[in-house]
């Protein structure tokens, strides 16, 4: 271990100091290869680091991979959710149904698009939107449903489709966990009107941060692209590629939401490896399931027949009735053992930004709360060695055994 210098001076020294920590198994460690490093270096040396040819290539690859007609690379999944919802032209009282168990951004995007997020409970076993609960929240003001393929497990898309068709609603898929997810061979993200994918640092495909909006609707894709580049009709790369200083017009006030070529340089090689990585994620899942079967935990069941789970998260659900500590104490003790974990998520109706504004309270969404109190995500990355997995297993067994009652 490098000694920590009294004062780090250069950037390299600062990084070295930050790394001079006890060896830990980090939650969500990305699996980056030499190809990503070389491509980033090539992008840096190319003289074009903004949105350009590598972004174009990544969009094409991504659209082909999931089987969508259009893909727009963005700087986050949240940006994609925001822009997709903006194309719906929501009036202030228009409602969008969002699961109570998801990341905050799924609901924030609705608020930023001027709508009202109306939460619905999830199923305990799948952690995905419960179609019965969603149908019960539909009112004459409902405009759309957001399906989150939680942890990578496809939602019950056929049942959501019935709700939506009967009432003329739009379907937005939050595919942040679901790059590899399929139903009967068809990729999640191609069932709804739009889907937004995340390439945040811990996601199965990462670009550091980034996102991809996919849709088959050409007009929507064009509108979203324009909104993502300041409302400009034409980006800098196409103006340059078309032989010089081309013109653009600004028809709408836009946002700065595009991906850069530095990010796309990473994404191209991440995506190329995603199918190769999935069996490793599945293997780690199986090892964990086997190793924890006799502990006071609830193991999450397999995906439905015909559905492929992307294995983004391994969520351990603590059987609190047979433990003498809560989830946060288990997390702390695992951290003391050098194991980083995550919580996906605290039920969002209990977060102040929704609770205080829309009057939600504990008891409103029992399944989301049940998960929220018990869930703990363990490291799951193709970058983990079998030794790393054994360390996680040993630590989880040690901590849970210590507290079994």
Ligand X SMILES: *Cc1c(COP(=O)(O)O)cnc(C)c1O
Q: Could you tell me which stretch among 72-80, 318-326, 361-369, 380-388 binds ligand X (CB under 6 A)?
A: 72-80
Q: Could you tell me which stretch among 97-105, 165-173, 184-192, 241-249 binds ligand X (CB under 6 A)?
A: 97-105
Q: Is 200 in the site for ligand X (CB under 6 A)?
A: yes
- Judged by CB under 6 A, the residue of 27, 58, 62, 103 near ligand X is 103
Q: Residues with catalytic annotation?
A: 203
Q: Between 295 and 316, whose beta carbon lies closer to ligand X? A: 316
143-162 binders of ligand X (CB under 6 A): 148
Q: Is 207 in the site for ligand X (CB under 6 A)?
A: no
Q: Build a one-symbol-per-residue string for 32-71: x at contacts with ligand X by CB under 6 A, - elsewhere.
A: ----------------------------------------
Q: Is 102 in the site for ligand X (CB under 6 A)?
A: yes
CB of 336 to ligand X, least distance (A): 27
Q: Which residues pair with 122 in a beta bridge?
A: 129
CB of 38 to ligand X, least distance (A): 25
* Rounded alpha-carbon distances, angstroms, from residue 376 to 180, 316, 319, 328, 329: 22, 5, 11, 9, 11
How many residues of this chain bind ligand X (CB under 6 A)? 14
Q: Is 211 in the site for ligand X (CB under 6 A)?
A: yes
Q: Is 76 in the site for ligand X (CB under 6 A)?
A: yes
- Judged by CB under 6 A, the residue of 73, 176, 183, 348 near ligand X is 176
Q: Between 182 and 206, whose beta carbon lies closer to ligand X? A: 206
Q: Could you tell me which stretch among 34-42, 85-93, 101-109, 369-377 binds ligand X (CB under 6 A)?
A: 101-109
- Judged by CB under 6 A, the residue of 142, 181, 190, 198 near ligand X is 198
Q: Is 82 in the site for ligand X (CB under 6 A)?
A: no
Q: Between 130 and 174, whose beta carbon lies closer to ligand X? A: 174
Residue 37's CB is within 10 A of a number of other CB atoms, namely 13
Q: Is 342 in the site for ligand X (CB under 6 A)?
A: no
Q: Is 257 in the site for ligand X (CB under 6 A)?
A: no
- Judged by CB under 6 A, the residue of 36, 66, 78, 134 near ligand X is 78
Q: Is 311 in the site for ligand X (CB under 6 A)?
A: no
Q: Between 65 and 292, whose beta carbon lies closer to ligand X? A: 65
Residues of this chain that bind ligand X (CB under 6 A): 76-78, 102-103, 105-106, 148, 174, 176-177, 198, 200, 211
């Amino acid at each position: 271990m490098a000694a920590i210098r009294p004062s780090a001076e250069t950037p390299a020294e600062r990084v070295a100091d930050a790394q001079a920590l006890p060896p830990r198994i980090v939650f969500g460690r990305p699996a980056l290869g030499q190809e990503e490093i070389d491509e980033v270096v090539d992008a840096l040396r190319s003289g074009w680091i903004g949105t350009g040819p590598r972004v174009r290539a990544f969009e094409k690859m991504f659209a082909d991979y999931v089987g969508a007609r259009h893909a727009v690379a963005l700087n986050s999944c949240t940006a994609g959710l925001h822009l997709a919802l903006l194309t719906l032209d929501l009036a202030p009282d228009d409602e969008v149904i969002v699961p109570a168990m998801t990341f905050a951004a799924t609901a924030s995007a609705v608020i930023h698009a001027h709508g009202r997020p109306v939460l619905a409970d999830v199923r305990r076993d799948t952690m995905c939107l419960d179609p019965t609960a969603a149908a019960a929240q539909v009112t004459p003001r409902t405009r759309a449903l957001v399906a989150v393929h939680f942890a990578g497990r496809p939602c019950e898309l056929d049942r959501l489709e019935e709700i939506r068709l009967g009432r003329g609603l739009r379907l937005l898929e939050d595919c942040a966990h679901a790059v590899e997810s399929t139903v009967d061979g068809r990729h999640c993200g191609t069932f709804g009107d739009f889907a937004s994918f995340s390439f945040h640092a811990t996601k199965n495909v990462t670009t550091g941060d980034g996102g991809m909006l996919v849709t088959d609707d050409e007009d929507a894709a064009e509108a979203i692209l324009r909104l993502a580049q300041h409302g400009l009709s034409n980006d800098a790369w196409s103006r340059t590629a078309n032989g010089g200083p081309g013109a653009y017009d600004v028809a709408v006030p836009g946002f700065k939401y595009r991906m850069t070529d530095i990010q796309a340089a990473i994404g191209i090689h991440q995506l190329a490896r995603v199918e190769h990585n999935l069996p490793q994620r599945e293997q780690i899942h199986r090892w964990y399931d086997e190793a924890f079967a006799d502990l006071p935990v609830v193991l999450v069941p397999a995906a439905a027949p015909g559905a492929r789970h992307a294995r983004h998260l391994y969520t351990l659900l603590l059987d609190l009735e047979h433990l003498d500590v809560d989830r946060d104490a288990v997390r702390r003790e695992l951290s003391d053992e050098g194991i980083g974990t995550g919580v996906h998520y605290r039920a969002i109706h209990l977060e102040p930004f929704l609770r205080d504004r829309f009057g939600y309270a504990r008891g409103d969404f029992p399944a989301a709360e049940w998960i929220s109190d018990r869930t703990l995500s363990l490291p799951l990355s193709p970058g983990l060695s079998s030794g790393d997995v054994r360390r996680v297993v040993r630590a989880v067994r040690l901590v849970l055994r210590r507290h079994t009652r």
